Amino acid sequence: MRHTALGLLAAGLLAAGVGHAQPSPSPGRPGVQVLRADDLARAGLVRLSDLFALLDGWYALSTDGFSWRASAGGLAPAHTARWQLYVDGHRVDATVLDVQNLNLVPLHPSQLDSVVVHHVPTVIDGRLAGAGVIHLYSHRPDGLAARAGMMLGNEIDDPGPYAFTDPDARNVDRVGPGYVASLGYGTATAGVEATYRQDYQHVTRRPLWDRVFGVYGRPHPLNRVMQQSLGVQAYATGSRSRHRLQVGYTRFRDYRFLDPLGFEIATDHRTPFAGGHGTLALGRATTLSYRVGYRRERLGEWKNRVDHTFDWVEGRGHASVALRYRRGVLASTSTLGLDRRVVRTGRASFGTARLHTGHLAQEVEVRQPSGLLLRGAVIGLLQAREAGLEALAVAHVPVAARRQVRLTVSHSDRPAADPDRLGYWLYRGYQVPWAERTAITPAPSLSRPRTTTLDLTGSYAPGGGWLIEAGPAWRSFAGGLDAVYTFGFVDPDDIFRGRTLGTAVYRSHLRGQVWRGHVAVTHRTAVWRRHLAYAWQRHTAADAAAVAGWAGQPEHLLRVHIGYDPVPRFSLNARLQVQSATAWPGYAAADAATDGVYPDRLPPYALLDLSAWKAFGGGVLEVMLLLRNALNAPYRTHPAAPETRLTFFVQAQLRL
């Protein structure tokens, strides 16, 4: 009975609408998912991190609902968040403490023209993107273009007037408000656009509040996650070349949950960034392309109960040059690149850590007129004093008129993630408030991470607006994906109010295999947009570190997205996600820090989002109402996160 409404809704939405005009979807490439502007504008997205819910087989975890760690198709543990992010061709490091945070990009989902997502390993810019890629493409301004928008979300279960009758009643999160404003001017050959985005997430939930209170002794006056991003993009296209530049600045004030510690540390990041990329035709068959980028993340000062201040900066830069030559069916690309990371702390005892990684890649591509595509790449790495080798092979075979098969094999044998203890320095930089109380022991040795993946994906487009994709995949992990740190809390009395966290050993020497299979069915008509994706994933022969690494990635994940567009400027959307229970070993610290409230296993849950979108004035004004978690199923994506309940969003955008 309790699922009757859900079943009726799904059945009704799936059954209705047959018989309309049926434009065929683009055949797509197996292993690559493309989200179009229409899907994005109407799908009930209020932040870029909401995209994760639309990506087949991606898992995303969060403790505060703002910062999400994601994993694509079992290619990496979610906590490492090794997937790569590109925005309009720029390689973007929207990272905080080494973890990509999609919400720091100065873009709103409605500004996106399309999103291209790689669920399987690929090579971009001469680098093996072995853990998935999200590439955001924004709308180009057409003439003078301006935009302003805001969103606000309200999660239920506030005490309301009962705060006066129940002294223990607590407020719960308010999401936002979030603002976006952009101004640009563009033609077919050149343009510039500036976007400013600001967002808030109020940290009022008791678990977070208690942990932060325990560390800082009192709630910080600005008890909210705050993000401000300003980005300026410019592009120019000539007859033989095209170039893109970006500069920007992000400020992010966060309560960052550190897994090894089991509690949050308030952080204040200021990150200027700049980058550029372009191509230049050197001849009829030869093209030179370049890509450069730099960002500098500075941890700002933060007053806390022990009155320490942070002084920590990470600089991260990359540069690469590629020469592409095409003759007949053969294309060759040679890439030379360098990545540089430097962590500096102001304290002499901490010093500076540097990591340089050079790579030389050779790609060869054979593309037959029949559609057969063979692609191979070999990448040599030189990092500090060690060398590594990565390889990728792709066979894209059209087996029939509407059927394609893609086989992707990749192997990565990299130098140890941070031979110079970069992660150690990262974490130690954050350890300043506990410097006198905390003993940090870096790992005695770090093993080389060796990863092998195999993905077989087939797609079938039978016509009538249908597209079906399915296939198995296998991954093998041997060697440490993470550095190892031992945290010992020797004097927890006042900070943790008498609780002793003891010593926690972080993940090490991750070893195991992941098996998975997925099927995705898309059906588009003039009125309906329907997408169903199911993924099954299981790890085997896993050691304790691997079990901890794959924690939070459920064995079964089902996503259904249904959009109904009865008229061009009105849309109803439903999005359903069902996932099985997940285990969470290794989070005893979080459990202890929250009085044992959080179990070591998260129950299964079903989430249903319902949204209505309406455009007024020919698209000048867009309004969206969204009920997130309409079933009000209490769920959490991380044991240290609070339960999330029904949330009501209002979003409006004005475009001129």
Partner 1 sequence: MRCCPASIRLLLTSVTALVVAGGAVPLQAQSTRGAFETMTIHVGGATNFNRTAFHRFWQPGQGGDVTIQTPFYAGQVETGLALHQYAAATDDVPAFDAMQMHVGWSLPVTLSPRLQWQTGFRLGNYYMRFGDAVQNGHVGCDLGGIKRCGDDAATIGGDSESEFFMGLHTRLQVRMAPTWSVHTGAYLMNAYTHERIRLVYFSAGISYTVQTPDWLQVFLR
**β pairing state of 133-138 and 84-87:** parallel
Q: Locate 570 and state its tokens.
A: 């009105």
Residue from the set 401, 567, 596, 656 that interacts with partner 1 by CB under 8 A? 567
Q: How many CA atoms does the CB half-sphere of 225 hold within 13 Å?
A: 26
- Residue 616 binds partner 1, judged by CB under 8 A: yes
Residue from the set 116, 633, 652, 654 that interacts with partner 1 by CB under 8 A? 633
Q: To the nearest whole angstrom, how small is the minimum distance from the Cβ of residue 344 to partner 1?
A: 32
The CA-CA-CA angle for residues 69, 51, 557, to 5°, reads 70
Residue from the set 303, 327, 569, 601 that interacts with partner 1 by CB under 8 A? 569
Q: Locate 28 and state its tokens.
A: 């797509």
Contact map string, positions 586 to 615, toward partner 1, x by CB under 8 A: -----------------xxxx---x-----
- Residue 342 binds partner 1, judged by CB under 8 A: no
Would you say 220 and 447 are in contact if contact means Cβ atoms under 8 Å apart?
no
414 three-class SS: coil
Q: To the nearest whole angstrom, how small is the minimum distance from the Cβ of residue 196 to partner 1?
A: 21
Task: Identify which of residues 168 and 301 has a Cβ nearer to partner 1 in the complex.
Answer: 168
d(CA 41, CA 545): 40
Separation of CA 437 from chain center = 34
- Residue 515 binds partner 1, judged by CB under 8 A: no
Q: Locate 546 and state its tokens.
A: 């691997």
Task: Identify which of residues 346 and 566 has a Cβ nearer to partner 1 in the complex.
Answer: 566
- Residue 2 binds partner 1, judged by CB under 8 A: yes
- Residue 439 binds partner 1, judged by CB under 8 A: no
For residue 447, give the nearest of 505, 506, 509 by alpha carbon: 509
Total residues contacting partner 1 (rule CB under 8 A)? 68
Residue from the set 23, 219, 346, 472 that interacts with partner 1 by CB under 8 A? 219
Residue from the set 157, 210, 413, 600 that interacts with partner 1 by CB under 8 A? 157
Only segment of 87-95, 250-258, 274-282, 632-640 that touches partner 1 (CB under 8 A): 632-640
Residue from the set 171, 334, 452, 476 that interacts with partner 1 by CB under 8 A? 171
Region of 168 (left: φ > 0; alpha: ψ -120 to 50; beta: rest) is alpha
Helix ranges (H only) for 472-623 are 544-549, 588-593
Task: For residue 54, count CB atoms less than 10 angstroms from its CB and return exposed for 0-12, middle for 13-18, buried for 19 or more.
Answer: buried
- Residue 215 binds partner 1, judged by CB under 8 A: no
Helix ranges (H only) for 119-220 are 206-216
- Residue 5 binds partner 1, judged by CB under 8 A: yes
Place of tokens 């320490």: 308
Only segment of 33-41, 156-164, 186-194, 384-392 that touches partner 1 (CB under 8 A): 156-164
Place of tokens 């050079």: 358
- Residue 534 binds partner 1, judged by CB under 8 A: no
- Residue 490 binds partner 1, judged by CB under 8 A: no
Q: To the nearest whole angstrom, how small is the minimum distance from the Cβ of residue 566 to partner 1?
A: 3
Only segment of 288-296, 300-308, 589-597, 628-636 that touches partner 1 (CB under 8 A): 628-636
Only segment of 218-226, 248-256, 506-514, 544-552 that touches partner 1 (CB under 8 A): 218-226
- Residue 497 binds partner 1, judged by CB under 8 A: no
CA torsion angle 199 204 206 209 (round to 10): 80
Task: Identify which of residues 46 and 456 has a Cβ nearer to partner 1 in the complex.
Answer: 46
d(CA 390, CA 232): 35
The CA-CA-CA angle for residues 80, 81, 84, to 5°, reads 135
- Under DSSP, the state recorded for 421 is -
Only segment of 165-173, 276-284, 342-350, 467-475 that touches partner 1 (CB under 8 A): 165-173
Task: Supply φ then ψ for residue 524, to 5 degrees.
Answer: -125, 135
- Residue 436 binds partner 1, judged by CB under 8 A: no
111 three-class SS: helix
Separation of CA 525 from chain center = 30
- Where along the sequence are the contacts to partner 1 (CB under 8 A)? 2-6, 8-9, 11-13, 15-17, 20, 154-171, 174, 202, 204, 209, 219, 221-224, 526-527, 564, 566-567, 569-570, 572, 578, 603-606, 610, 616-617, 620, 625, 627, 630-634, 646-648
